Structure 1
Amino acid sequence: MRHTPHYLLHDHDEIRRLVRENPWVTIVSHTADRGIVASHYAFLLDEAASTGDEIVLVGHVGRPDEQAHELGRHEVLLIVQGAHGYISPSWYAEGDIIPTWNHVTAHLYGTPEILTDEQNLKALAELTDHFEQHVVNPRGLHLDPEYSRRVALGTVGVRVRVTRFDARAKLSQNKAPEVVERIIDELEGDGPYNHPGLAREMRRHHDARDS
């Protein structure tokens, strides 16, 4: 990403929160056979392992993506995209005409560890349970263990221990407080570019900065 020091995100807790809230991840590999390969899968934060400065993600890919990405042979990039949206200059002070795009984004780097079949099955069960906990009649892999085990064989589980990251929270830090409030109001409103999630992210960031 473009080097913008005033938007840099260094806080490991904030990176962990971003992963928790945005589990749909883009995996990018620079491979020997295919060049650049990209795929999209759900990843969860390994809460037990992600303490202190450690950030560990667990997920899976469908076969044969593990071969396409050459998983386990080299470093991969995991892109985690948080709230983002268009910011109209009509929300700025008079005479300010340049629009922008606010966003929270993290690039996470690490070499994947391939899980065993049993570890992968456990990770898939936890992934399903993580999302099913919010529905009225949740379903899980435990309801049919043998069928779940067969289906799991079509996937490859991976654990990625993040060795470095490059993250940005570009949330109108260069604007005056009254302009920031107007942007948040517009994002919370009913206009064509409303985005309550981005408004919450902006308010959270600016409240923390001002406290």
Structure 2
Amino acid sequence: MYLPAQFDARDRATALAVMREHPFASLVSVDDDGLPFVTHLPVVVEERGPVELVAWCHCARPNPQWRHLQARPRARLVFQGPHAYMSPSVYPDLARVPTWNYLAVHCVVEARLVDEPQEKDALLKRLIAQHEPAYARQWIDLGEEFQRKMLAGIMGMELRVTQLQCKVKLNQHRPESHAALHAAYAAGSPDEQALAVWMQRLGIAPADADGAR
């Protein structure tokens, strides 16, 4: 993605926070016609040691994307964080234009297909643990035969992250706008409020700023 230096967030913890707080990602690969093919799916991100990141997910078996990845394992995984319009009214002068602020993470990944039933079961349990831990008991109680049928209907994927980009566009290079921008976002929509919180987290607005949530 286009990544000007002022918006290039090189802090790994920031990228991980965006990925984990917004786990519904877009997996982009290349189909047999050479065109992008996109699947939207929930992802669990795990750290392996101090450097390696792995994302786990699955798709329906009729989805052709896993076959694309079988032939061409390299793909891109995109996480979209909060985003919102920014009015030029946050500036003290009028010679300004509006823009859109947002957080996003792009990963280049190498895909490994996960089709062995026990490994797929472990993958599903990662998702269960992230989204609804109490469901784990219900999943077990459904019985092995039902579980096998459900597992046969999906293809799991282990996505090893080989490149990571995190873009934080919060007008951080224009400090004259920060106080008014934070106040506007803190009083706005859920996405705007989330951006106000990120402004505080990253020190763009003070932690005790008025309107903080």
TM class, shorter-length: 0.7 to 0.9
Equivalent residue letter for 1:174? H
Equivalent residue letter for 2:201? R
After superposition, give the CA deviation of every residue in 1:71-91 in whole Å (9 maximum; x if it has no partner). Answer: 233311000111111111112
1:91 aligns with 2:90: yes
Equivalent residue letter for 1:127? L
Which stretch has the larger CA shift, 153-162 or 111-120? 111-120
Which segments of structure 1 move beyond 4 Å, counting only runs of 4 or more? 66-69, 207-210
Equivalent residue letter for 2:3? H
After superposition, give the CA deviation of every residue in 1:80-125 in whole Å (9 maximum; x if it has no partner). Answer: 1111111111122221431111111111011111112211111112
Distance 1:38 1:92, change over 3 A: same
1:200 aligns with 2:193: no
Q: Following the alignment from structure 1 to structure 2, what is the Cα–Cα distance between the partners of residues 196 and 182?
A: 13
Gaps of 5+ in 1: none
The equivalent of 2:172 in structure 1 is 173
How far off its partner does 1:194 sit?
6.6
TM-score, with length taken from structure 2? 0.85
- Spell out the pairing of 1:21-170 with structure 2 (5 A cutoff): 21-33=21-33, 35-47=35-47, 49=48, 51-67=49-65, 70-72=68-70, 73-115=72-114, 116-133=116-133, 138-140=134-136, 141-146=139-144, 147-170=146-169
How far off its partner does 1:127 sit?
0.6
% identical aligned pairs: 25
Q: Following the alignment from structure 1 to structure 2, what is the Cα–Cα distance between the partners of residues 68 and 157?
A: 9
Whether contact under 8 Å (2:73, 2:112) holds in the other structure is: no
Equivalent residue letter for 2:164? F
Distance 1:92 1:69, change over 3 A: farther
Q: How many residues align?
A: 202
Distance 1:194 1:160, change over 3 A: closer
Distance 1:17 1:3, change over 3 A: closer
Distance 1:10 1:194, change over 3 A: closer
State the superposition RMSD in angstroms: 2.4
Which stretch has the larger CA shift, 64-73 or 88-97? 64-73
Whether contact under 8 Å (1:87, 1:100) holds in the other structure is: yes
Provide the secondary structure at the position in 1 that maps to 2:108: strand
The equivalent of 2:211 in structure 1 is none
Distance 1:77 1:60, change over 3 A: same
Which stretch has the larger CA shift, 37-46 or 192-201? 192-201
TM-score, with length taken from structure 1? 0.86
Q: Following the alignment from structure 2 to structure 1, what is the Cα–Cα distance between the partners of residues 9 and 67?
A: 28
Equivalent residue letter for 2:121? L
